[in-house]
Chains A and B, each alone.
Chain A
Amino acid sequence: MTRFSRTLLVSFLLAIWLLAPFTAEAYRIESSLRQAQEDGRLTPEEAQGIQARIDQTREQGLPSAPFAAKVEEGLAKHVRAQAIIHALDVIRGDYVFARDTLRRNGVEPTPDDIVLTGDSLRLGLTRLELTAMADLNPPPPMLATAARTRAALNAIDFPVPLSDKIMRQGLSLGSLKPGWERLFRVVQRTREVGIPDVTVADAAARVLADGGSPAELLQELGLTGRDTRHEPDASK
């Protein structure tokens, strides 16, 4: 076998290997849509409308897996086709906005960063809040972490000014590392024992100034690391 043939063969196999997940995903979604039509849950026009949305995301260079997952979720929950299409349009808008915001400091975000940030907009982060955090010019992975952290804090009604303070501290110092998405769990625990949110925010700002993690925040607040209400293996 000549060197050219070997190179051709290796390139071909590599391409197949890389494309396999996308092919499998495309096949899965087509299969789900076909099954839904056979079950009478979707008309052919509705299935085409959903498929067109998926194709659109690929053409726009957005990660398509979350869109396929949303379709699967909608079909599993017996959601109407129009609601699925609407949800896909909303996610696409969120992802485009997330990608454009993450790109602002000139670094191309990874698909994971786009998904984390885009989903944060669905989970409770406002576009205004995301833009304000992007103004501090953090690298895309850190902005994605901040987006998810703040979305979760919003979801548990943590006061906005206190979230502002924590995010500003973490982003300006570059210490808001992965793991801080669990800050809302700290807040839930401190609320259970009666510690005010403002105390948590002050302590979080101090820990971030020292480059610490949420685990160190718990210690700073005088709480043990282990949640003794659950068995050692419990995961929630």
Chain B
Amino acid sequence: MNNEHQNNTAQARLASGLRGLGGMDPGADFASCVMERIGSAAPLPLPKRRSERVLDWLARPRTVRVSPLAGLAAAACLLLSMGLLLKHDFGVGSQAPKGLVPVTFVLAAPSAREVAVIGSFNDWNAVGWTMTRDPSRGLWTLSSALPSGSHEYVFLIDGTTPVADVTAALNVDDGFGGRNSVLLVKSDHDSIL
């Protein structure tokens, strides 16, 4: 109610001022004068391209306000992802980092369409552990690098049939009525066996 009254008063004062100006004539050359002034003015800068605007936005310093809870959550996510990255297993095709020992798996299975190695070293997951076939000899091979110690594994033929390695030093009960092969990977300091 009070605002409306103030607006009305301001409008009445403005109308009264305008009436007080009387009948001023802008003159016949008013429009041309205006256009001349506009033409003589310095040109406005062109709008920046999108990439430049993004760069400006990134480069401009700004204050970011984060609650302690959000900060902790962000730090936790960062640590979690780092932890998962460090836990990541170095699989096939990786250059053997320090502590890992090169290993080659070989299986003779001429009639198999696809063979993979699954074991305790790859969480029994065949993804990325498919063997390569040598058609001339009917041999499937796979080279990788594993940490020293004892590992259990089998060959997975055509994605469904697990087969133990008959050339392994040891084959043991897998708890499901089948057999797992045991691979002893030697460390550098006990390579005598």
Q: Which residues of A contact B (CB under 8 A)?
A: 5, 9, 12-13, 16-17, 20-21, 23-24, 28, 69-70, 72-79, 83-84, 87, 90-91, 122-124, 148, 152, 155-156, 179, 181-182, 184-186, 188, 213-215, 218, 225-227, 233-236
Complex Cα spacing A62 to B187, Å? 28
Contact in complex: A20, B79 (CB < 8 Å):
yes
Q: How large is the interface on B (under 10, 10 to 19, 20 to 34, 35 or more residues)?
A: 35 or more
Contact in complex: B173, A122 (CB < 8 Å):
yes
Contact of A72 among B125, B160, B185 (CB under 8 A): B125
Interface string of B101-135 (1 = CB under 8 A from A): 11110000000000000101001111000000000
Complex Cα spacing A215 to B125, Å? 35
Tell me which of A70, A77, A79, A123 has the highest count of chain B C-beta atoms within 10 A of its own C-beta: A77
> Chain A residue with minimal CB distance to B72?
A12
Q: How far is the CB of B176 from chain A (nearest CB, A)?
A: 5
Contact in complex: B193, A185 (CB < 8 Å):
yes
> Which residues of B are found within 8 Å of A76, using beta-carbon distances?
118, 124-126, 156, 162
B183 on the interface (CB 8 Å rule)?
A: yes
Number of A-B contacts (CB under 8 A): 114
Contact in complex: A122, B190 (CB < 8 Å):
no
Interface string of B153-193 (1 = CB under 8 A from A): 01010001010000111101111111000011110001011
Complex Cα spacing A102 to B111, Å? 48
Q: A12-B76, A13-B75, A21-B83 are in contact. Are A235 and B101 (CB under 8 A)?
A: yes
Contact in complex: B172, A122 (CB < 8 Å):
yes
B80 on the interface (CB 8 Å rule)?
A: yes
Complex Cα spacing A182 to B185, Å? 11
Q: Can you show 16 pairs from A to B with CB atoms below 8 A apart?
A: A13-B75, A20-B79, A28-B123, A77-B154, A77-B162, A83-B176, A90-B175, A123-B172, A182-B184, A184-B169, A188-B169, A214-B192, A235-B101, A235-B146, A235-B183, A235-B186
> Which residues of A are found within 8 Å of B160, using beta-carbon distances?
78
> Which residues of B are found within 8 Å of A78, using beta-carbon distances?
160
Complex Cα spacing A213 to B88, Å? 33
Tell me which of B173, B175, B178, B186 has the highest count of chain A C-beta atoms within 10 A of its own C-beta: B175
Q: How far is the CB of B126 from chain A (nearest CB, A)?
A: 7
B87 on the interface (CB 8 Å rule)?
A: yes
> Chain B residue with minimal CB distance to A227?
B193
Query: Other than the known A72-B124, A218-B192, what 10 A-B pairs have Cβ atoms closer than 8 Å?
Result: A20-B84, A21-B83, A28-B123, A73-B176, A155-B172, A213-B190, A225-B192, A225-B193, A234-B104, A235-B146
> Which residues of B are found within 8 Å of A75, using beta-carbon distances?
124
Contact in complex: B176, A16 (CB < 8 Å):
no
Complex Cα spacing A139 to B187, Å? 24
> Which residues of A are found within 8 Å of B95, using beta-carbon distances?
none
Contact in complex: B170, A184 (CB < 8 Å):
yes
Q: A17-B83, A236-B169 are in contact. Are A69 and B175 (CB under 8 A)?
A: no
Complex Cα spacing A13 to B150, Å? 33
> Which residues of B are found within 8 Å of A13, using beta-carbon distances?
72, 75-76, 79
Contact of A235 among B80, B154, B185 (CB under 8 A): B185
